Amino acid sequence: MPSSQDPLEQGDDLQSQRRVRLLPLPAWRPLRAISSILLTEIDRRWRAGLRGRAPVSYGWLVVGLGVMGVAQQMVIYSRYDPALSSESAIFPKRVVLPLLLVYLATSLRILRNSTARALVQLRPVVRVDDAQYEAHLRWTLAVPRPDAFLLLALVLSLNIGLYVVQGMTLPLAMAQTLPPEPLAAGFILGTLMMLGWLLLYIVYLCARFSVGLYRLAQKPLLINVLDPYALLPFGRLALQYSLTLVGLILLLVVPLGRPSALDEYLVVILASLGSLLALVIPLWGVHRQMQTAKQEMLAKIHDQFREVQDTLLDGSRFEKAELDDLSERTEKLTRLRKHIWDAPNWPFKTWASTLRAVLAALIPLILVALQEGVKFYVDYLLGPSPGP
């Protein structure tokens, strides 16, 4: 039988902490203080994820998904022209689907781990009571199962409707449709369903975690204008959500080449804007509070400068020591004001770090623009000159 004593009230020694057994979520009693013990246990549970419910480790599941993707491509390309299938021109298209499966499954695990760890680190800077923070933790980390099943039902209906009922060509399959053999068709369709579900689920998870981070950033925060170190987990999380989407886009753009139609360009542009919004929107509350704190400090320094000015305009004669004190005070205030001006307004180490984060979120758009620039240079500037 588990002990009825609250885990947070047990001894502080290491051995007693190791013996803590966290009760199921509904059985938690109201907490007087959310400590690192509670948050570390949430982190452990969250990192366990699928591994705790599956008969094999999560790493083997990722490997299995990659093998499934390779096998699906082998089934599809075995029905294609063997001579053409051996050409290196179509090799990148063969590896896109296996890479997507491995990337999405790995990113899912990384996102969950990073979010749980960051919430542990951010607790000291969020100025809310324990009940509010616990409620936020529950909402952010406890993804409702009905949402996952709803996404699965959506993917199932789309795959059956598009590829079974309407007979549309398969993605990344050299314009082929489902084969007539039930076993091969079922395997191909099952792989596409897994890919579609992982894709929708990773987008859903990024959106849910971004909303959770945005809501947390709206709470009162302990802002240190001179050193944003305690707020850096905000920036790291938002950047990771953004880069997850960036990596997904690059897996499609790099192997498949530059876009060739208007709708493909629109997809790249909208996806790049989405990755940028995934970086900026969750951090807006932190940015606003950092700016407010900076303006308050600059206002206080302005008052100090005004006191120096009023002293100088007093009309009385000053001794050399008094003038030296005023001069030294002014120099220190000037250096402090410059340091505050140079401090970042976003939860990153420096302004350069902020700029690098923005550029990283726009990598797909920058890559496509460079590809178009190279194509224009080759076609129009290095192309054959017109005849006489």
Model confidence over 82-134: pLDDT tens digits?
Answer: 554 444 445 667 788 999 999 999 999 899 889 988 988 999 999 998 888 98
Q: Identify whether 116 is part of a domain.
A: no
* Identity at 221, one-letter amino acid code: L
Angle in degrees, CA 169, 171, 177, rounded to 5? 30
For residue 173, what pLDDT is reported? 64
Question: With 90 as the cut, is the pLDDT of residue 375 above it?
Answer: no
Residue type for 210, please?
A: S
Identify whether 285 is part of a domain.
yes
CA-nearest of 383, 100, 369 to 258 is: 369
Of 158, 156, 154, give the one whose Cα is nearest residue 204: 154
User: What does residue 348 show for φ and ψ, rounded to 5 degrees?
Assistant: -130, 165
**What pLDDT digit, counting tens, does each position of 176-219 carry?**
788 888 898 999 999 999 999 999 999 999 999 999 999 999 99
Residue 257 is assigned to a structural domain of this protein:
yes
Contact 289, 234 (CB under 8 A): no
Average of per-residue pLDDT across 227-256: 90
The answer to whether residue 324 is domain-embedded is yes
In DSSP terms, 126 is beta-bridged to: 221
- How big, in percent rounded to 5, are the helix, strand and coil portions of the chain? 75, 0, 25
The span from the CA of 242 to the CA of 15, in Å, is 40
- Are the C-beta atoms of 103 and 251 separated by less than 8 Å? yes
**Other Cβ atoms within 10 Å of 140 Cβ, number:** 19
What SS3 state is found at 271? helix
Q: Mean pLDDT check: name the lowest of 18-32, 64-78, 94-108.
A: 18-32
H or E segment and range at residue 186: helix 182-217
Which residue is listed with tokens 């704190």?
293
2 found inside a domain: no
Is there a domain that residue 179 lies in?
Answer: no
Q: Is the dihedral of CA 105, 97, 179, 77 positive or negative?
A: negative
Helix 351-361 vs helix 232-256: crossing angle, to nearest 10: 30
Q: What is the mean pLDDT of residues 315-322?
A: 79
Which of 35, 48, 49 has the alpha carbon at shortest distance from 6?
35
Residue 221: φ, ψ to 5°: -120, 150
- Residue 261's pLDDT band, with cuts at 50, 70 and 90, is confident
Tell me if 8 is assigned to some domain.
no
The range of the structural domain enclosing residue 334 comes to 221-381
As a whole number of Å, the end-to-end CA separation of the chain is 95
Work out how many domains the chain is built from and give that number.
1
Residue 173 covered by a domain: no
**Nearest Cα to 237, choosing from 269, 214, 203, 270?**
214
Please compute the mean of the pLDDT values over residues 286-310 and round it to a whole number.
95
Contacts of 148 (CB under 8 A, 6+ apart): 201
The single residue listed with the structure tokens 């079974």 is 164
